Structure 1
Amino acid sequence: MEQQAIVIALVGVLGIGAQWLAWRTGLPAIVLMLAAGFIAGPALGLIDPELAFGEMLEPMVAIGVALILFEGGLSLDFRELRHAGDGVSRLVVLGVPLGWLFGTLACFYIAGLNWPVAVLFGGILVVTGPTVVLPLLRQSSVQTRPAAILKWESIVNDPFGALCAVIAYEYFRLSGDGATVFEVVPPMLIAAGLAGLLGYAAAVVIAWAFPRGAVPEYLKVPVLLTTVIGVFVLSNKIEHEAGLIAVTVMGIALANMNVSSLRSIHPFKQNIAVLLVSGIFIILSASLDFSQLSYLNWRFGLFLLALLFIVRPATILVSLLFSSVPWNERLFLAWIAPRGIVLVAISGLFALRLTDLGYADGNVLIGLSFAVVVVTIVAHGFTIDLAARLLKVKGQTRPGLLIVGSTPWTIALAVQLQKLKTPVMVVDSSWQRLAPARQKALPFYHGEILNEATEHNLDLTQFHVLVAATENEAYNALVCNEFAHEIGRDAVYQLGEAGDHDDHRKLPDSLRGRALFQSGFGVEDVNERQAEGWVFRQTKLSEAFDFEDAQEKLPESTHMLLLVRETGRMRFFTHASRPEPRAGDTIISFSPPKKLTVEEVAAKNAGKRGLKPQSA
């Protein structure tokens, strides 16, 4: 019991530690997790998951994978297919059989595996996996369409890859008794269809029960997770690995049933996914045995190169022939195909079964699957940014600002940030209030930011900071709360309540975004000052002109709003914190008009009368 507790604690520390280190350094999180598990497991012997968990290890990993696929399914909205539907459908309908065929040929002719093992492993190689693709997409900025295609392919093809492996295994298991392909495949496809129907039925029940109050709020997450696990286990009773199809269908169905009550559990499900991905990667890489790597030889090295440069490109390019996907996006998709948890988990399961059937090459699958995972993750994880730039599918890399509320103050702020080449978007539900934004050629979105459709009509991935500055402070707080779990609690801001002296009306800080300005200026405060002629000013800092010099040059009563680093990162001056300005930063301040000298006043008045100012 104590040993298991230590292993669980170490797995958590290593997994989340690797995720944090990836966030700090920008390195692929999956690579760091694999390295951490390998060092703690076979290298140092600190963790031995098989010894700690025994027979429970396989079902633990299987349920973890099922929950990850379900969570991935919840992120798939059919509205995304308006832009990526052609590519996604081709990669499912054509990509799966083509990938299976090309992978099988590479396994047999290059890796030297015997036919049964080659056919089975070729089916497993169809998977890419959300556990590796989604973290890579989060860390790199890729345009909407190729990112959507990769996401859909990784989630939808995972259960199909498992199904291919099951079909191959059952055929070779029963072929000794004279069974034919037509006697093996149709019953399995029917079983897979039944599993999908079971997942859809579970989604319908959840979508009916949750909005009607049949389940209390505090039980919704437990009920949902328990239902997912139950559907997975029951479907596996119908057919091996059919549970993956069931939970994926259940997730996709729920995502497209517009169940508003599911929005409240999104932060929790995302946290569960991060924990599961971290934990499973650490456990699987720590379970690797050096003896399993002894099977690898030069032929397997050639096989890995063929997988990267022949199998995947051929699958994508043939599948997308005559499609609407541009060639630069096809080439990008042809390169990016990291494998992850599902590949290792299914390979480990069938390696034992193939060995029991008398196929000696079955033992090779464990080491080879880990080699595929490591090579593809390292190759694609470290090159995805370079490939995206070279093929011009890179999205906006400079952090953007999303401004909710079109007012004279927010328009003036947006103009300043646009001058610094910071992506900015003004969102408002009133076409009339957006008129100044249109006149100044600012990017804008006409619609309700809290509407769920906005997530699919507006690409929010490029915006790293949100400022809610409508006339309604309660609405601003609601917007900040809604987007805090997506953008980050420290990156959602609203104007303060300094202008509201009625204490009983003030919102608790826990419900609000961070207050802009150290003074906590409210909406009324900035509107009054702007009417008096206050303006935004930009001040560039250098080694010779520091922050103190800037403060002396600016008018008295100036209030600092934010600084923009040379990288584009924005740091705001708030009532709770003040960033440390340094050389290269650009300060944006909100300040009163400069006081005119006597000569400037005389010149201004003379200009109004059409006279020349007299010289002294």
Structure 2
Amino acid sequence: MLELASIFVLGIFAQWLAWKIKQPAILPLILIGLAIGPLSTFFTEDGSKLIDGDAIFTGDLLFSFVSISVGVILFEGGLTLNIKEIRSLAGTVRNLLIIGALVTFVGGGFAAHYIMNLSWEISFLFGALIIVSGPTVVIPILRNVRPNTNVNTVLKWEGILIDPLGALVAVLMYEFILSSKHGNGYQLEVFQDFFITISAGIVLGGLGALFLYYLIKNNSLPSYLQNVFTLALVIFTFAFSELIHAEAGLMAATVMGIVLANVKLEELKKILSFKEDVSVILISVLFILLSSRIDIAQIEKLGWPSIVLFLIVIFLIRPIGVLLSTRKANLNWKEVVFISWIGPKGIVAAAVASLFSIDLVREGGYVDPREAELLLPLVFLIIVGTVVLQGSSAKWVASLLGVRRKEPHGVLIVGANELARKIAKIIASQGIYTLMVDTSIPNVREAKKMGLRAMQANILSDNIFDEIDLSKIGKLVAVTSNSGLNDLACSWFEKELGEHNCFRLASKEESENTNIPLPKNVLFNTRTDFVALVQLLRSKGAVEEITFENTVHYEEFMDKHTTQVIPLFYKNDEDQIQLISGFSSKSDKLDTLVFIKKPNFAIQEEDVASDSDLN
């Protein structure tokens, strides 16, 4: 029990460390797995590992757990794939899944044979295993780099769809190895199994998604059971697909996620959030478990040829595959180069390599056991190498090529009521792009009369992300009279904009009860609620600005007039604003503060360096 508990704790620590150093979590996870596994044998008296995955999960139990976990991870990845975002790049993604995969398979096989002197069977099995990429490594890199829409869409779709496809190719090659040793040569029936596997996965995954959609839309599931029922249904669909045909589960889980992502389901955001939490736990456990299974003797056998093989995979095979796949794509050369550079390997490669290496060694007679033992550490070398090299350099390469998305500074305002229109007017006067969203047609019409951008829509609908151009939006400001709606709007957009960029007004309870801690995302860092702010502006509260000589000057001003002014935001010379909240109540720079002054309040000469009325 202590070993299993340690893996959970170390896994979450690795996730935190990855966030801290801004690297994909797979890197610290594998390093920790190696540290407590093969590397720990140097420090134990009897030469045993501190933790060994084979000792925790005996027999086939480990690989059953790995397979189901990978299925859940791919389902969560499928939930993020919206068909609308890929329409113009569907051909590119298709080519990467077919041409790119074929180049990797053939190129990896030849390279492994001639560089590592492996048999043709093991070489092409290695080539099949390095086809996969995966959301566990690609998505963290994309979040850190924030590339433009074209690059982000291509890499995300390829990373998620290539996992089940790569696993199926690996299974196909594995079956070839087995059938070739029966004396009848390679069996073409293996291809038939391949297409049956794909078909079974697509059909069963689609049926599972439609069944869940029917239950939720008809209120046949209570809200508190929707998440866990979804998890149970994903596992059932995966297991049932595996019973119909081996290895169909990964395809079924991925298809189930994609179908759910493209139907109108209001509960999808809640389900996706739950699945992300589950995936973090599963990924953390899996990588440490699989890494701990490697033996130090296997690592020592790799030698320098394995480094040459690694360099050929990332500097030759991947670029060739991408270039052939993007010949007629709507991508410029800089985008093609960056896509060529990003091809990290993830959990599916590790899991399937672990499974095949054990089976080939255990069965015997099919290939040289010494070569089969090299398969797992060789794949892990490619995984660690691609994650370290590409993950650490991705942001620098993207900046060098100019394919990073420009940081948007626009403000999305939830509500088009009287207060929202006033705040929008103030922000827009600074040259900042603003967009107001409200379900009230009269409110939207009034906002447009004032020359403001406004649209009639439900801010909590699934379609809102398609209707709004988020490339221009950097912050969300929820200023409706409904505090519950304000909270939900912030939660709804946190993943898209970041927690530090979603703000709301204080609720009535927070305004009246000073014993309630004020959340950091409360606008203007004040307990003044919607009603009080409206009354203040109606009573001729003026909006002014002031530029301070230094931060001490600002602190003195706020201490002296804290009950007479409401700070709104800072602005700088680069047409950017910083909203006042618990995240940032003061500026480190000598920016200009825009604030609301209450009636009968006059700024003294000693308070200001310069000021001007914005009304």
After TM superposition, is the score higher than 0.5?
A: yes
Per the shorter chain, which TM-score range? 0.7 to 0.9
Contact 2:125 2:174 (C-alpha < 8 Å) held by counterparts: yes
Aligned to 1:96: 101
AA matched with 2:402: K
1:139 aligns with 2:149: no
SS in 1 for 2:122: helix
Rounded to whole Å, the distance in 1 between the matches of 2:595 and 2:36 is 50
1:313 aligns with 2:319: yes
* 1:16 CA displacement: 1.7
Instruction: Label 1:65 to 1:194 Cα distance change in 2 as closer, same or farther (>3 A).
Output: same
Instruction: Label 1:370 to 1:435 Cα distance change in 2 as closer, same or farther (>3 A).
Output: same
Query: RMSD between aligned alpha carbons?
Result: 3.8
Cα offsets for 1:113-158 (capped at 9, x unmatched)? 2211111111111110111111222222122221121111111110
SS in 2 for 1:54: coil
* 1:405 CA displacement: 2.5
1:390 aligns with 2:394: no
Rounded to whole Å, the distance in 1 between the matches of 2:295 and 2:431 is 51
Q: Please point out which of 556, 564, 575 is paired with 1:557.
A: 564
Aligned to 2:528: 521
Q: Please point out which of 237, 240, 245 is paired with 2:246.
A: 240
Instruction: Label 1:184 to 1:596 Cα distance change in 2 as closer, same or farther (>3 A).
Output: closer
Cα offsets for 1:66-124 (capped at 9, x unmatched)? 11001111111111123432322222233222332222232223333221111111111
Contact 1:541 1:582 (C-alpha < 8 Å) held by counterparts: no
Structure 1 gaps, min length 5: 598-616
Instruction: Label 1:289 to 1:416 Cα distance change in 2 as closer, same or farther (>3 A).
Output: farther
* 1:253 CA displacement: 1.7
Aligned to 1:21: 17
Aligned to 2:79: 74
* 1:202 CA displacement: 1.6
SS in 2 for 1:223: helix
Contact 1:40 1:46 (C-alpha < 8 Å) held by counterparts: yes
Cα offsets for 1:559-585 (capped at 9, x unmatched)? 2245689998956345xx884654556
AA matched with 2:297: S
* 1:162 CA displacement: 0.8
Rounded to whole Å, the distance in 2 between the matches of 1:260 and 1:544 is 46
* 1:518 CA displacement: 4.5
Instruction: Label 1:423 to 1:48 Cα distance change in 2 as closer, same or farther (>3 A).
Output: farther
AA matched with 1:253: V
Rounded to whole Å, the distance in 2 between the matches of 1:187 and 1:200 is 20
SS in 2 for 1:110: helix
AA matched with 1:330: V
SS in 2 for 1:75: coil
Cα offsets for 1:164-189 (capped at 9, x unmatched)? 11111112211233244533212331
- Count of residues in Structure 1 that have an aligned counterpart in Structure 2: 588
Rounded to whole Å, the distance in 2 between the matches of 1:19 and 1:353 is 31
Say which is worse superposed, 531-540 or 86-95, in terms of deviation.
531-540
Aligned to 1:302: 308
Aligned to 1:611: none
SS in 2 for 1:178: coil
* 1:336 CA displacement: 0.5
* Match runs of 1:10-159 below 5 Å: 10-44=6-40, 45-55=49-59, 56-159=61-164
Rounded to whole Å, the distance in 1 between the matches of 2:545 and 2:158 is 45
Instruction: Label 1:366 to 1:498 Cα distance change in 2 as closer, same or farther (>3 A).
Output: closer
Aligned to 2:610: none
* 1:215 CA displacement: 3.1
* 1:211 CA displacement: 2.0
Rounded to whole Å, the distance in 1 between the matches of 2:19 and 2:596 is 33
Rounded to whole Å, the distance in 2 between the matches of 1:13 and 1:399 is 38
Rounded to whole Å, the distance in 1 between the matches of 2:146 and 2:282 is 24
Rounded to whole Å, the distance in 1 between the matches of 2:324 and 2:356 is 29
Instruction: Label 1:544 to 1:208 Cα distance change in 2 as closer, same or farther (>3 A).
Output: closer
Say which is worse superposed, 471-480 or 245-254, in terms of deviation.
471-480
1:332 aligns with 2:332: no
AA matched with 1:378: V
Rounded to whole Å, the distance in 2 between the matches of 1:540 and 1:58 is 63
Aligned to 1:228: 234
AA matched with 1:52: I
* 1:245 CA displacement: 1.1
Contact 2:266 2:461 (C-alpha < 8 Å) held by counterparts: no
Aligned to 1:612: none
Instruction: Label 1:340 to 1:306 Cα distance change in 2 as closer, same or farther (>3 A).
Output: same
Instruction: Label 1:371 to 1:481 Cα distance change in 2 as closer, same or farther (>3 A).
Output: closer
Q: TM-score, normalised by structure 1?
A: 0.84
SS in 1 for 2:125: helix
* Match runs of 1:475-554 below 5 Å: 475-483=485-493, 492-497=502-507, 514-537=521-544, 539=546, 545-551=552-558
Rounded to whole Å, the distance in 2 between the matches of 1:500 and 1:165 is 57
AA matched with 1:493: F
Rounded to whole Å, the distance in 2 between the matches of 1:440 and 1:120 is 65
Rounded to whole Å, the distance in 2 between the matches of 1:472 and 1:226 is 35
Rounded to whole Å, the distance in 2 between the matches of 1:512 and 1:578 is 12
AA matched with 2:159: S
SS in 2 for 1:493: strand
Aligned to 1:7: 3
SS in 1 for 2:301: coil
Instruction: Label 1:230 to 1:566 Cα distance change in 2 as closer, same or farther (>3 A).
Output: farther
AA matched with 2:351: A
Contact 1:538 1:587 (C-alpha < 8 Å) held by counterparts: yes
* 1:491 CA displacement: 5.4
SS in 2 for 1:76: coil
Structure 2 gaps, min length 5: 41-48, 605-615
Contact 1:191 1:242 (C-alpha < 8 Å) held by counterparts: yes
Contact 2:115 2:308 (C-alpha < 8 Å) held by counterparts: yes
AA matched with 1:318: L
Say which is worse superposed, 281-290 or 20-29, in terms of deviation.
20-29
* 1:389 CA displacement: 1.3
Instruction: Label 1:229 to 1:589 Cα distance change in 2 as closer, same or farther (>3 A).
Output: same
Say which is worse superposed, 449-458 or 119-128, in terms of deviation.
449-458
Rounded to whole Å, the distance in 2 between the matches of 1:127 and 1:525 is 56
Contact 2:414 2:476 (C-alpha < 8 Å) held by counterparts: yes
Instruction: Label 1:457 to 1:510 Cα distance change in 2 as closer, same or farther (>3 A).
Output: farther
Instruction: Label 1:396 to 1:22 Cα distance change in 2 as closer, same or farther (>3 A).
Output: farther
AA matched with 2:328: F
Rounded to whole Å, the distance in 1 between the matches of 2:502 and 2:86 is 30
AA matched with 1:20: W
Contact 1:267 1:485 (C-alpha < 8 Å) held by counterparts: no
Rounded to whole Å, the distance in 2 between the matches of 1:400 and 1:46 is 52
Rounded to whole Å, the distance in 2 between the matches of 1:115 and 1:500 is 69
Say which is worse superposed, 562-571 or 281-290, in terms of deviation.
562-571
Rounded to whole Å, the distance in 2 between the matches of 1:557 and 1:458 is 37
Say which is worse superposed, 445-454 or 362-371, in terms of deviation.
445-454
Rounded to whole Å, the distance in 1 between the matches of 2:113 and 2:190 is 23
1:168 aligns with 2:178: no
Instruction: Label 1:498 to 1:233 Cα distance change in 2 as closer, same or farther (>3 A).
Output: closer
Q: Please point out which of 273, 277, 283 is paired with 2:289.
A: 283
